Chain A
């Protein structure tokens, strides 16, 4: 015998009533403040920090040293001069940064000076007598000892590959490379000759 079970349906619990809150007025989003120009002093300090870390893969090398002002360039060139000659990667990095935007004869004056510097003879003292070397590692050592000059030539190579429309700058660049092709340093001379070959100048 089934029995019906009375089911009491309870009314739904009253929804909690919250006082109606008006939608907040949209807050105008302030435009992002324009990036504060980094002073030349700060850029040099930033570079010093990067170089001290010995991390050549620091992304700031790609992002923070573009569109260099004349003051920036002057500050970096001074930094180059102030660095000991044995600081090969450090000096070469500065040349690299400065050589990325060759836009004036003044830029090329610095590049030219770098290519005409005496090559470092010895990792511990550039002026010391060269040390004999296990021929196994000669290649890498040779390139590093001439690294600032190599970077200067690399900058010229890249500049010439853009087929610069400024004839005077192009000719000035080729003259620097041509002089470097006569260098007593094999790494420099060889690289310069390759650039001249690529430029159809050899």
Chain B
């Protein structure tokens, strides 16, 4: 995780979207580290109660503490995906925003093609589960906005990092279910097609 945060700390952006400016500030490493350090005061090791979890925040055990699992090292996630999870979790430390708790996904919960969105391997549909956001500023929204900005504007990232950032951001976008929030993010980041 230290290496990943070191990487994040080196990011240099050529521009910043308005929503990113609002949440984090500019697209650059010091901004991201400051964002993280302002929220996460301690890091511990835990299973997070989920065999597939990489990291978590357990408000009952301290809202400013982030727990990392052994999966962080064991599982073969791309680096930017690991970083995304860390920043997603860091948003959950914000007590003054109710830890940015997730909204229940709607029922039915379908992709734009009308197919139900579900957990790939369990087959369980996400409809009705607390796995969505109704705001661009929650954990899904903020982390997708961060990654999409990295994808678009990182000036010193490899193409792989930027490609990965775009892929994971686009996937997270499915979790934003409020039409106004979707419109705001589209306007902020998706109004011009890019690679």
Nearest opposing residue in chain B for A146, CB measure:
B120
Interface status of B108 (Cβ within 8 A of chain A): no
Cβ-defined contact, A138 with B131, below 8 A: yes
Query: Within 8 Å CB of A62, what residues of B?
Result: 158-160
Known: A131-B52, A135-B119, A145-B120. A57 touches B79 (CB 8 A): yes
| Complex-state Cα separation, A87 to B158, whole angstroms | 20
| Complex-state Cα separation, A43 to B23, whole angstroms | 41
Q: A56: shortest Cβ distance to chain B, in Å?
A: 4
Cβ-defined contact, A140 with B120, below 8 A: no
Q: Could you say which of A57, A124, A131, A185 has the most chain B C-beta atoms within 10 Å of its C-beta? A: A57
Query: Within 8 Å CB of B10, what residues of A?
Result: 57
| Complex-state Cα separation, A164 to B52, whole angstroms | 40
Query: Within 8 Å CB of A124, what residues of B?
Result: 74
Known: A61-B160, A89-B78, A136-B131. A143 touches B167 (CB 8 A): yes
Query: Within 8 Å CB of A142, what residues of B?
Result: 119-120, 171
Query: Within 8 Å CB of A132, what residues of B?
Result: 51, 122, 124
The SS class assigned to the B binding surface is: loop
Which B49-87 residues have a C-beta within 8 angstroms of A?
49-54, 71, 74-81, 84-85
Cβ-defined contact, B75 with A186, below 8 A: no
Range class of the A interface residue count: 35 or more
| Complex-state Cα separation, A12 to B74, whole angstroms | 80
The SS class assigned to the A binding surface is: helix
Query: How many residues of chain B get a CB closer than 8 Å to chain A's CBs?
Result: 50
Interface status of B7 (Cβ within 8 A of chain A): yes
Tell which of A19-27, A105-113, A115-123 binds the partner: A115-123
Query: Within 8 Å CB of A145, what residues of B?
Result: 120-121
Query: Within 8 Å CB of A56, what residues of B?
Result: 78-80, 158, 160-161, 164
Interface residues of B (CB under 8 A from A): 3, 7, 10, 48-54, 71, 74-81, 84-85, 102, 111, 113, 115, 117-122, 124, 126, 129-131, 157-161, 163-164, 167-168, 171-172, 174-175, 195
19 CB < 8 A contacts A-B: A56-B164, A88-B76, A89-B76, A96-B160, A130-B120, A132-B51, A132-B122, A133-B121, A135-B130, A136-B130, A137-B53, A139-B174, A139-B175, A140-B54, A140-B84, A140-B171, A143-B167, A143-B171, A144-B77
